Homo-oligomer: A and B are copies of this chain.
C-alpha cells in the first residue's frame, strides 16, 4: 500500500504553532508503522507573503496531488488592507472551490471535563455529540445574479440569489445519511420550506435520498426552530444537514454550546472523501508567537482526517481518547483553564497528548 500523502498548510499567526503539535501526532503514528508522508505549503497571508497570492500555483498543484490536507488558520490584521482578491480568505475559498470541497462537517462535542466552561447548564450539554453538515459551495453565498440596482422608484437596492439544484442537494444528503449510519442513525434536515422555494426542493430531494437509507430516520425542522432547539435541548440531534447559509449560522451557534471553540475540529470533503481538515477557531493574532495557543482542535482535526479520508476510525478514536485523557488529567491551555488551574503552553499540551496517544 502506498503512503497516504498529506499536505500541511500552517497558515497565519498561531497557525504554524498549532500545526507543529499536529505534526508530532503524525510522527508518532508513522513511527508506529502507518504509511504516511507529508509536505508543507502556503495558504492565506503566508502564501501572499511568500508567493504573492493567497492560493498560489505551487499550493494548488500539491493540494491536487495530496490525499488530504491539514490547515492551521488564515487571515489577520497584517492582511486586512490588501485588495479583496488577494486577501487570505480568498485563498480559503479558492482551495475549497478548486478541490470541490462541498461537504463541511462540524462536530459539536462537549468534553465533560470542560462542561462548566459553557454558558449552558452542565446537564444540558454533558455528553453532547452532534454533527452538523453544511453544504459549502452553493446557496446564496455564490448565487448569481447579485449586486446593486436601482428600483423602479429610483432607490438603491442590493440583491442576491439563493439557489440549489437537485444534484447539489442529493450529494450533501448522501454524506449526511452515510455519516448517520456510523453514528446514531438520525438525520435532521434543516430548511425554511414554509417560505422558500429553494427549501421546497431541498426537502423533496432529502425525502428521496432517505429512501436509500431505510435504516436511518429522517426528520425536518425549520431553521428558526433549529436555532431555538440547539439552545433548548441540543442533545436531541444526531446529524443535522443544511445549506450553506443556514449551516454557517447553526454550526457557529452549536460550537458555542460546548464552552470552548479552541477544541473543535472540522472537515471539508469532496465527492471521494478527500478532505481538508482544520480547527474552527481563527488565527488568533493577539496570542501569536507566544506559545499559548491551544493545539487540541488541530490535533482532533488530524483524527477526523483519519476517520473520513483514510477510513481509519480506529486512529480517530485513539486521538479522541488521548485528548480526553489529558483533559481528565487536568491539563489545560490558557483558553480552557479555570481560575487557579495550572496553564500549559502549546508545546507542553502537544507533548502531553502525544504521550497519552502513545499509551493508548
CA distance A201 to B147 in the complex (A): 10
Question: Is A184 an interface residue when CB atoms closer than 8 A count as contact?
Answer: no
Q: Is the CB of A197 within 8 A of B163?
A: no
Residues of chain B within 8 A of A64, CB atoms compared: none
Question: Is A27 an interface residue when CB atoms closer than 8 A count as contact?
Answer: no
Question: Is A161 an interface residue when CB atoms closer than 8 A count as contact?
Answer: yes
Question: Is A165 an interface residue when CB atoms closer than 8 A count as contact?
Answer: yes
- How many Å from the CB of A252 to the closest CB on chain B? 4
Residues of chain B within 8 A of A66, CB atoms compared: none
Q: Is the CB of B233 within 8 A of A141?
A: no
Chain B binder among A16-24, A148-156, A285-293, A343-351: A148-156
Q: Which of A155, A163, A253 has the most CB of B within 10 A?
A: A253
CA distance A132 to B40 in the complex (A): 46
Residues of chain B within 8 A of A245, CB atoms compared: 192
Question: Is A120 an interface residue when CB atoms closer than 8 A count as contact?
Answer: yes
Secondary structure of the A contact surface, majority rule: helix
- How many Å from the CB of A351 to the closest CB on chain B? 30
Q: Is the CB of B161 within 8 A of A161?
A: yes
Q: Is the CB of B231 within 8 A of A119?
A: yes
- How many Å from the CB of A207 to the closest CB on chain B? 14
Question: Is A164 an interface residue when CB atoms closer than 8 A count as contact?
Answer: yes
Count of chain A residues with Cβ under 8 Å from any Cβ of B?
55
Q: Mark A148-179, 1 if CB is under 8 A from B, else 0.
A: 10010001111111111111000000000000
Chain B binder among A221-229, A269-277, A306-314, A317-325: A221-229
Question: Is A337 an interface residue when CB atoms closer than 8 A count as contact?
Answer: no
Q: Is the CB of B162 within 8 A of A159?
A: yes
Q: Is the CB of A201 within 8 A of B250?
A: no
Q: Is the CB of A155 within 8 A of B166?
A: yes
Interface residues of A in 331-354 (CB under 8 A from B): none
Q: Is the CB of B158 within 8 A of A197?
A: yes
Q: List 28 A-B contacts (CB under 8 A).
A: A89-B194, A119-B232, A119-B233, A120-B120, A120-B121, A140-B196, A148-B200, A151-B165, A156-B166, A156-B201, A157-B165, A158-B164, A158-B197, A158-B200, A158-B202, A160-B196, A161-B161, A162-B162, A192-B245, A224-B249, A224-B253, A227-B227, A227-B250, A228-B255, A229-B256, A231-B231, A231-B256, A232-B256
Give 15 A-B pairs besides A120-B120, A158-B199 with Cβ atoms closer than 8 angstroms: A119-B233, A143-B159, A157-B165, A158-B164, A158-B201, A158-B202, A159-B161, A160-B161, A160-B162, A162-B162, A224-B252, A224-B253, A227-B252, A231-B256, A232-B256
Which residue numbers of A lie inside 8 Å of B, CB to CB?
89, 119-121, 124, 140-141, 143, 146-148, 151, 155-167, 192, 194-202, 223-225, 227-233, 245, 248-253, 255-257
